[in-house]
């Protein structure tokens, strides 16, 4: 309970006598109860330390010398130093006794409730005029105009700073969040990132990150990267090389044995994949890293990962091709490799859902080419196609085969049976010699 006069606060049960309910009207604390709000009251104030002879002159000084300290001075002597002052009490600032009309009080409550519920944010001249109309009459016009001018200036400066911190490049394109880093330099390629990645704190605020093309160790400047390259002995990803043909090489990396490298690979993938959530717990996964070989070493192109033991028979958990190597058939190489490994294991595989937009396009193109290849190479006179047998032969799940047939418009339901439409006059699918596909004879991998 707060006093309407001095703003002191009291517990209701600490008062003497204690209160059981809130009092009606104006309430005074015990300290202010004996003072009348409308009259001048004389109050005696006793000096705690009596004045000395140097402070006063005449008889007052002599009286102060005789008084001595307040502890050893008789009561009659100390009473001489009481001072009578007049306390002029003003009416308390209470809404119940103010001269404000109920209509004005209601308007003030409405403005206050609006400002408490939602912070005032002025972004247009119309909103500024509305705010001025709401506050008019509650402050002097000079102070109100000064406040509105400063407020609008602060809003403009804050919006400009926010835009500068959130925009990339020259600030023309506004994005939702500031990407860190904005670009990554790896193997003489400067790649613009699409999303942020939780790199360590020392690299979190950099606009450009420099990565070693062999061990993927991050560095903050080209000088540090050159110093690292002179000491780095790695010339290929850790693990076993399971595939080599021409300039293409694939390494199998165990997340439990090469944890640091796999974590750096996941952090790099997060810069380009929105749904990538795994960064540190890489032990249950195998990583198949696709590289391009030159005299200096094996340079990273892309990778895919899969669980060592998948309960849902997923053969791919995450797949990535770096932007400089896109549209060159390397995505098809990774997809073909995942199904080649599934065939070696004798399992039916499928990529983990949900697929990204680019991932769905790549997989549908691969499934379509495989289906059309098997339909056009069937034995002469064969009138039926067993989808389950086709799934066993290609290691593609029946669900993926049927969805692809429906997507290309070849699966129809006619007279109670599902039929596959095959135009006899349609040309055979293009040869896959121009595509980078896996040669299973060059795949050295055992279950």
Please tell me the distance from the alpha carbon of residue 234 to that of residue 217, in angstroms, as a whole number.
11
> Among residues 241, 252, 345, 352, which one is catalytic?
352
pLDDT at 351: 94
pTM: 0.60
352 a catalytic residue: yes
Task: Report phi then psi at 141, rounded to 5.
Answer: -60, -35
Mean pLDDT by 10 residues, the chain (447 residues): 81 83 82 58 44 47 47 46 44 42 51 46 60 67 77 72 53 53 90 90 88 94 94 93 93 95 94 83 94 94 94 92 92 94 92 87 91 78 78 91 88 77 58 58 86
pLDDT at 410: 82
**Cβ of 190: how many Cβ atoms within 10 Å?**
11
pLDDT at 427: 53
């Amino acid at each position: 309970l707060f006093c309407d006069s001095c703003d002191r606060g009291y517990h209701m049960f600490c008062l003497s006598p204690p209160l059981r309910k809130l009092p009606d009207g104006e309430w005074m604390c015990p300290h202010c109860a004996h003072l009348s709000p409308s009259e001048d009251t004389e109050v005696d104030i006793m000096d705690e330390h009596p004045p000395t002879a140097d402070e006063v002159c005449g008889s007052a000084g002599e009286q102060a010398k005789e008084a001595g300290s307040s502890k050893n001075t008789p009561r009659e002597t100390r009473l001489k130093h009481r001072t009578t002052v007049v306390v002029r009490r003003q009416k308390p600032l209470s809404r119940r006794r103010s001269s404000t009309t109920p209509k004005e009080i209601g308007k003030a409550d409405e403005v206050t409730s609006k400002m408490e519920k939602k912070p005032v944010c002025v972004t247009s001249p119309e909103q500024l005029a509305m705010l001025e109309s709401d506050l008019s009459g509650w402050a002097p016009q000079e102070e109100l105009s000064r406040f509105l001018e400063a407020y609008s200036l602060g809003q403009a400066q804050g919006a400009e700073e926010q835009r500068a911190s959130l925009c990339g490049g020259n600030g023309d394109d506004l994005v939702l969040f500031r990407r860190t880093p904005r670009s990554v330099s790896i193997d003489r390629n400067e790649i613009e990132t699409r999303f942020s990645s939780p790199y360590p704190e020392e690299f979190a605020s950099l606009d450009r990150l420099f990565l070693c093309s062999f061990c993927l160790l991050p560095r903050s400047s080209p000088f540090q990267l050159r110093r690292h390259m002179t000491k780095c002995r790695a010339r290929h990803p850790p693990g076993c090389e399971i595939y080599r043909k021409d300039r293409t090489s694939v390494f199998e990396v165990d997340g439990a044995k090469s944890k640091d490298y796999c974590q750096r690979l996941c952090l790099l993938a997060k810069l380009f994949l929105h749904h990538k959530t795994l960064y540190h717990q890489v032990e249950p996964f195998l990583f198949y890293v696709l590289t391009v070989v030159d005299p200096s070493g094996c340079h990273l192109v892309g990778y895919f990962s899969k669980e060592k033991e998948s309960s849902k028979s997923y053969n791919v958990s995450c797949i990535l091709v770096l932007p400089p190597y896109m549209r060159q058939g390397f995505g098809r190489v990774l997809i073909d490799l995942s199904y080649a490994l599934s065939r070696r294991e004798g399992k039916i595989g499928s990529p983990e859902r949900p697929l990204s937009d680019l991932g769905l396009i790549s997989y549908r193109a691969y499934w379509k080419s495989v289906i059309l290849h098997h339909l056009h190479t069937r034995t002469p006179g064969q009138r039926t196609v067993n989808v389950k047998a086709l799934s066993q032969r290609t290691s593609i799940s029946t669900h993926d085969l049927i969805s692809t047939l429906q997507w290309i418009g070849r699966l129809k339901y006619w007279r109670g049976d599902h039929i596959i439409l095959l135009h006899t006059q349609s040309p055979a699918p293009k040869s896959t010699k121009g595509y980078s596909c896996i040669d299973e004879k060059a795949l050295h991998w055992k279950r």
